[in-house]
Amino acid sequence: MDQKDHPHTIIIERPLNFGLLGLIIGFVGIFALSFILSPLALILGLIGVCKRQFFTGLVAVVFSVIGVMTSVVLMTIFGLTSLMID
């Protein structure tokens, strides 16, 4: 038998880049819908760091913190609005 008789299956694994996804969502979360996107970016950033995507994961965490600081809704939930009144 020839090798031409047997079909070959090629499996390509594409790992999810949680850090990059968190970075993009965190950046958008700074400007819009930060009460939803910032916690999501934090979660994805932490998963990215755990999966050894250190740079993008840490930047996603930083963007999520900035998103929380710019979100009026999240600042109200955490009781940080008194910092703005001073």
For the segment 14-70, what is each residue's pLDDT rounded down to a tens digit?
778 999 999 999 999 988 888 899 999 999 999 999 998 899 999 999 999 998 888
61-82 tens-digit pLDDT: 999 999 888 887 767 776 766 6
Residue 86: is its pLDDT beyond 50? no
The residue written with tokens 């755990």 in the block is: 50
What is the rounded CA–CA span in Å between residue 38 and residue 22? 9
* pLDDT given for residue 71 in this prediction: 80
